[in-house]
Amino acid sequence: MIKVGVAGYGVIGQRLADGVAAQKDMELVGVADVAPTLSVRALKEKGMPYDLYNSLPDNQKLFDEAGIPISGTLEDLVQRVDIMLDASPGGIGAKNKAIYEKYNKKAIFQGGESNSVADVFFHGYANYEKGVGHQFLKLTSCNTTGLIRAVDCLDREVGIEKVAITIIRRVADPGDYHRGLTNALQVDKAPSHQALDLMTIMPHVDATGILVHTPVTHGHIITVLATPKKDISKEQLIELFSKHPRIRVVKLADGFQGNASLFRYARDLGNPRGDMYEIALFEESIVKSGKDIMFAINIPQEAVVIPENMDAIRAAMEMQTDRLEGVAETNKYLGLGKWIQK
């Protein structure tokens, strides 16, 4: 049983903890955070299902005043696990790396850290084998994670020469106020980092892209224009995407009009926090221009990277050294692909 700890109990950290707890071949030893945040207070009110460790001992008084039990420090947690999932704010994970190195522990970092923090820039489906046995892996961002799922799915079937993407990006997570109240769209300088990151993971694909910030909080939409090496029909595309356990093909005609429809559907399914691990691909968005393919996908930014983090644990700890075996175990425990028509 692989023992896992989570550093940072925020938007991603909460979901990482739940993801590990769902894996029958892993044990969640505990989570660590720096203060009694709302997420930590909710953990207490739920009866402390996970042991909590203090990442900043100088703040112990704050936890005591809030009546939140502490099981030790971050260093204590690191010593009790085989591998850490670091979901700390960008830049903090790089500092935590010194602790992981001190105790010779493995760690997985999130998309907010610089690529230099890790040995391998990792994606479960696209380059699983490259992460096998390495000490430090770094995940791609939420947008890049979902984008690579779709491009990799196509690439393995027909080969992809190049892609051009437009990202319609939510401005902040639900509950965040740090971006202020806005009524504007903002265009980033091209190419977007997601296109560059895709080429880092899949260097044989030529990618470029534009990113537009939008004043919404639930999900990103990405349009993809892909040039395949072999022609493929729209019907074949739908069949291919429909078989992928982390891609849910949805129809506008069924009421899936966009990000809000998908968030509502996740809540109607009873998913905790309204989370979805899978990206959604809008069937009616699939069009062809000659051999080129265009389609649109929805990226549920709060939870989409959780499966790939579980894959990263499996690769780093050599639980499964084969790509398909590793992702299949993750999918099984997270219930991914259960909507696929048999």
Q: How many CB atoms lie within 10 A of CB 184?
A: 8
The DSSP element (H or E) to which 155 belongs, if any, is helix 142-158
Only one residue has tokens 């639900």, namely 174
d(CA 221, CA 185): 14
Question: For the CA atoms of the chain, what is the radius of gyration?
Answer: 20
C-alpha distance from residue 297 to each of 76, 77, 168, 192, 312 (Å): 41, 38, 10, 17, 24
Six token digits for residue 157: 């079937």
Six token digits for residue 165: 């993407």
- 220-228 and 279-282 as β-strands: parallel, antiparallel, unpaired? unpaired
Give yes or no for a contact between 282 and 221, defined as CB atoms under 8 angstroms apart: no
Only one residue has tokens 């051009």, namely 164
d(CA 280, CA 286): 13
What three-state secondary structure class fits 27?
strand
Side-chain half-sphere CA neighbours of 322 within 13 A: 4
Name the amino acid, one letter, at 73.
Answer: T
d(CA 220, CA 218): 7
Flag whether 176 is marked binding: no
What three-state secondary structure class fits 21?
helix
Residues annotated as catalytic (active site), given as ranges: 142
- 136-139 and 106-109 as β-strands: parallel, antiparallel, unpaired? parallel
Binding-site residues for NAD(+): 33
Binding residues: 33
